[in-house]
Chain A
Amino acid sequence: MDVLIRFGFTIDEIKSMMDTNNLIDSVSDKDIYELIDILEKAGCQDSHIKNIFLCNPFYLTRDVLEVNHFIQKLYEIGLSSLFVLFDSNPYILNMSDRDLDQFYHEKIKEGMNKEEILDTINYSMVF
């Protein structure tokens, strides 16, 4: 938990996150660092990261490798400036690369083109 305090979260904010996701207690500081690092690499600033954690405390218990695969998949399908997406829709970070792949192909089957799918992902609170 130290890493969250050092990041600037208040005790009340940490409590609120733990009330929502009681498994946070079992996550190591190393994993939290790595999860923060992933977001920073995607362009997130501290205020975005704070919004993501408070809105979606379940991100804190995600597997680092799985999140990396998911982000890789976002880039593969053509998304960029991911911090904008994560700040708008922190819940999307609970998806797996498999979920995203399935979503993408469902939309293709529905007749959407790539740009329409990317806009849907960016602005339709997909999760």
Chain B
Amino acid sequence: MLDEYLYGLGFTEEQTKQIRSIYPSRQYPESTLLYNFRNLYNFFRRNGMENKDFISIVMITPNVLSLSIENIKIRIEDLNSFGFNKIDAFSMIKNYPYLLEISNLKIRNKMNCLKELKFPKDNIVSLITAYPSIFQIESKQIQKRFQFFIDYGYSEKDIISIFTSLPTLLDCSSSFFQQKFQELEEFHFSKNDIIKITTFLPSLFYLTKDELYLKFKPLQDFGYSELDIIHFIKKIPVVLKDSYWNDLFSKLDCLLSLGFSKETILLITCNNPYILLYSTESLISKFQSLLELSFSKEEVLSMIKSFPFLFGYDMDTIHNRILFLREIHLDSLIVSNCRILLFCLDLLKARYQFLMKTSLWKESNYSSLFLSDYDFYKTYQITKDSLLKGEF
């Protein structure tokens, strides 16, 4: 009877034999055992577990067969009192069945350990929910790991963020991290870069050097050097996320289809790597908007080549900056020195009004408009703040 019932749930013949031979099963008659199994199974099923989860719980913690449903409910209530909701509690039991057996004291101690390390309560709950196996890691080891990261230069906040988003890292040894730091340093990432990148993307710790090289390969085939790739990873670590990385080629294809040469693409994306993060629709739409401002395709290509940040700005902002420059008859400069489009319109207008008011404005002297703050101050003895407040 029992064997058939277990086969029906998905237990294998070997697992069934194992269950029959272990202590809690041997102490019950078959009918009691079947009754317990049915009760347990129905209880776990009602709480969202699948057959494979139930099988895993029984195989890992056979003592569960001697627990009453009431006892399990008490454990769930205990977990509730520690801040875990019912769904979290069952999810943790599913991933770490030993949770049914460990003491409340052990749970409290582990939570206190994280609290002492300044993990916020929400992070503690989400970390343990995502990685209940943390209960098998010694608190001393967690403290040691934390200190190891502090010694490398991470802030407490960085470390909390890393371990909360990827708690399995708590189980990695110091030598594992030491080796990872060394590998990343070999890629010419500075300590600060490593801290920044791994805080943003802790899964990087799990990538081997070869896997990183493999990731770089298609971009190298396109024409980027290893240093180019390292450069934009430093600038925008988010690009390493699969959702961006796997989409890079559609962006590169899009830039090719807009008319940029491979060489120009390398140049503009190294200067402004954010271009690689914008959607293809956005790149096309911005390119189109520039064409609609009465520039030829060649002019737009040349403008973006000399000032790749043009691909980032809101088009209304660019439109207004261009309109103003046209109003003061500096149209020709827009294409030949597109970089002037970086200037905030408020500052340009304030400088222009100042130069007009003081009769210093001449079109031939347009470059005054685009001086740095210090040079403008040295030339005209007026600060940026006074200009913007109209105090002239």
Contact = CB atoms under 8 A, between A and B. Distances in A.
Contacts of A50: 314, 316-317
Given A16-B281, A51-B317, A118 B342 contact: no
Contacts, number: 83
Given A19-B282, A22-B243, A88-B342, 15 more contacts: A16-B281, A16-B285, A19-B281, A20-B282, A47-B317, A47-B320, A51-B316, A54-B313, A80-B385, A81-B384, A81-B385, A87-B317, A89-B342, A91-B274, A122-B372
A11 to B, nearest CB: 13
Contacts of A123: 342, 372
Contact of A16 (B192, B282, B374): B282
B168 interface: no
A51 B313 contact: yes
B373 A19 contact: no
Among B235, B243, B342, which residue has the most Cβ atoms of chain A within 10 A? Answer: B342
B384 A56 contact: no
Given A84-B388, A119-B372, A123-B372, A91 B344 contact: no
A98 B384 contact: no
Nearest to A122: B373
A21 B372 CA distance: 32
B192 A98 contact: yes
Interface string B70-85: 0000000000000000
A99 interface: yes
9 contacts: A21-B238, A55-B313, A56-B274, A58-B238, A83-B346, A84-B347, A90-B312, A96-B196, A122-B372
A89 B243 CA distance: 25
B122 to A, nearest CB: 13
A102 interface: yes
Given A16-B281, A16-B282, A20-B279, A56 B312 contact: yes
Contact of A119 (B192, B272, B374): B374
A1 to B, nearest CB: 17
Contacts of B238: 21, 58
A127 interface: yes
Contacts of B277: 20-21, 58
A125 interface: yes
Among B196, B343, B373, which residue has the most Cβ atoms of chain A within 10 A? Answer: B373
A58 B282 CA distance: 15
Interface in B321-369: 342-347
A82 to B, nearest CB: 11
B90 interface: no
Given A20-B279, A84-B384, A115 B374 contact: yes
Contacts of A84: 344, 346-347, 384, 388
Nearest to A98: B192
Nearest to A84: B344
Interface of chain A, helix or strand or loop or mixed? Answer: helix
B343 A81 contact: no
Kindly state the interface size class of chain A when it binds its partner.
Answer: 35 or more
B314 to A, nearest CB: 4
A20 B373 CA distance: 33
A87 B346 contact: yes
Contact of A88 (B282, B285, B344, B374): B344
Among A22, A58, A81, which residue has the most Cβ atoms of chain B within 10 A? Answer: A81
Contacts of B196: 96, 99
B96 interface: no
A19 B280 CA distance: 10
Counting from the closest, the 7 A-B pairs by CB-CB distance are: A119-B372, A19-B279, A87-B344, A54-B314, A51-B314, A115-B374, A55-B312
Interface in A42-86: 47-48, 50-51, 54-56, 58, 80-81, 83-85
B206 interface: no
Among A50, A55, A84, A116, which residue has the most Cβ atoms of chain B within 10 A? Answer: A84
B312 A118 contact: no
A85 B347 CA distance: 10
Contacts of B342: 88-89, 123, 125
